[in-house]
Structure 1
Amino acid sequence: MKKLLSTAIIAATALVGAEASATNYSLWIHGRNGGSTLRGNYADFSYWGPSSTAAGINKKSVNWNGTQRISVENFRVRDALDCFCTGANWCYIAAHSAGNLQIGYALSMYGGSARYKKNAVPSSTGVCGNTDGTTQVGWNIKWVDVASGAGGGSELANMGDWASSEPLTSDLVTSTARGMYNHNTTRAKWFYMFAGSKGTAYSGTLPGQDDEAVAYHSTGGVSGTGGFCNPGDWFCDGTLNTGTAATSNGVAKWSYHTVELRDDGESYDHYAAGNWAGIVGPVRADMAAYAY
């Protein structure tokens, strides 16, 4: 309902502005690795699944080097936002895992800066040309869907369970991820969190409910770490509540973060598996339904 209302309001605003050339885009920001994707090629969906699958209007894949630090590769995300989310154009954003850090970092650190209005015609490096040479503040973003968000980091990085040679691993340490930028500064863009809980392999490392890679404290947009679970589960610090409500033991979510899906049935793991699988599946369905 919130998404439908938001979309209707923005559509009405566009009509009032009589901007006939306005176009909506759906940007997909992948997570860790993504080694087979082609940076600057917004048509390469190899990380996600078949490009023919419905995943929101005018979908574009925002490809970055998913082994490098967020700050080093964030320019690629900003290039995409400049290309498709400025001027008369608006964007829906979908992010997976460390892609949550990428869009969060971009909004917090650069969302208040002047951005040149671009023509949505990217070069081979993913950079678009200016339209009229004027600027705007930040980007035109309707909302952000997050599949298994790693905005709060992962204990797998804390424990060195991922390849330590990858610079990104150090960014995914929970204290580093949470201190990287102000997660409350989303420029009033809503983050809809989809939290999977089909976790088995690393249940001894990740606290509370998890999807084998990231725990609920991160995937649920909770402002503090802890072992948060589904209702009725034992040996947890508290329940991850849906919506914007704090956990049952009183730990608040970050501003403009709401849990859209809590995996009570423990049905979704972390991995897209090149086929829109795992927790990416419900996000894809949500984008197909509401990003238009």
Structure 2
Amino acid sequence: MKTFVSAVVVAATVLVAPEASATNYSLWIHGRNGGNTQAGNYGDFSYWGSASTAAGVNKKAVNWNGTQKIGGQNYRVRDALDCFCTGTNWCYIASHSAGNLQIGYALSLYGTSARYKKNAVPNSSGVCGNTDGTTQTGWNIKWVDVASGAGGGSELADHGDWAMSEPLVSDLVTTTARAMYNHNTTGAKWFYMFAASKGTAYSGILPGQDDEAVSYHSTGGVSGSSGGSYCNPGDWFCGGTLNTGTNACSDGRAKWSYHTVELRDDGEAYNHYSNGVWGGIIGPVRVDMANYAL
């Protein structure tokens, strides 16, 4: 499907060729961290790895305080979307873990709002200036890649295994994350889910396959008000199989609208963490962005 979408984008670009000033950007939205990234600095890739690594055309790091609640920090994401995804400019989005909640929240609650067209020249706070004073509806986004998405929350938050003093952790409770916004409302933007399963440390807490932080029910974009136990094919100790693409799970539970499983980690090769080297499940997403975010 990614190849088909890219072909459509290329065709559309040809049709609007006279808009020569149009620029594409790749925005990377991180997840939970110690709040040590430089918010508003679109060149700070310390969460991910080396800034010189290929990760999509004109890549920008969308930094926010990853200890705070989604709603309170979402303006940082909206600032980035306004900067680089309005006017004649278009964006590809990559997100990791709680970054899935950030982009989902922005699209669901603000995706049809009026946005001033910006000049892609951010100030020290990460805010860009207006171009001509006109507005548009929502943002110009081609698609969203999601590495180990926490849009469905994590049982580690439910059980208090993370620092409960961090406000973000209360947002990551499974029922809270799933009720935070309408996950089916993406503005018809496709979410390509990359689900990792190299998890061992919390196997007694996280249901089904997990990557040591989030389970398949979340990383696979499975719908519902609570989580479930989903695994790779052939695992007899799960409630069902997480099917690839847009197909429902084997127990009949559907994925959220415009969510598709691009990678299911059948070989249990990827965990949750970047480790500062674009590692874990972030690795395949980086490759996908480098290949298709053009």
TM-score of the aligned structures, taking structure 2 as reference length: 0.98
Q: How does 1:124-273 map to 2 (within 5 A)?
A: 124-224=124-224, 225-273=227-275
| Distance in 1, Cα, partners of 2:147 & 2:57 | 18
| Distance in 2, Cα, partners of 1:198 & 1:9 | 35
| Distance in 1, Cα, partners of 2:252 & 2:184 | 17
Aligned with 1:135: secondary structure? Answer: strand
Deviations 1:102-158 (A, max 9, x none): 000000000000000000000000000000011000000000000000000000000
Aligned with 1:285: secondary structure? Answer: helix
The residue type paired with residue 260 of structure 1 is: E
Aligned with 2:101: secondary structure? Answer: helix
The two structures, once aligned, show a CA RMSD in angstroms of: 0.8
- Number of corresponding residues: 291
TM-score of the aligned structures, taking structure 1 as reference length: 0.98
Runs of 4+ residues over 4 Å off in structure 1:
none
Structure 1 unaligned residues grouped into runs of 5+: none
8 Å CA contact 2:153, 2:172 repeated in 1: yes
8 Å CA contact 2:184, 2:258 repeated in 1: yes
- The residue that corresponds to 1:89 in the other structure is 89
The residue type paired with residue 15 of structure 2 is: V
The residue type paired with residue 117 of structure 1 is: K
8 Å CA contact 2:36, 2:65 repeated in 1: no
8 Å CA contact 1:34, 1:63 repeated in 2: no
- The residue that corresponds to 1:10 in the other structure is 9
| Distance in 2, Cα, partners of 1:223 & 1:48 | 28
Aligned with 1:120: secondary structure? Answer: strand
Deviations 1:66-95 (A, max 9, x none): 000000000000000000000000000000
Aligned with 2:130: secondary structure? Answer: strand
The residue type paired with residue 228 of structure 1 is: Y
Match of 1:283 among 282, 285, 288: 285
8 Å CA contact 1:34, 1:64 repeated in 2: no
| Distance in 1, Cα, partners of 2:56 & 2:106 | 21
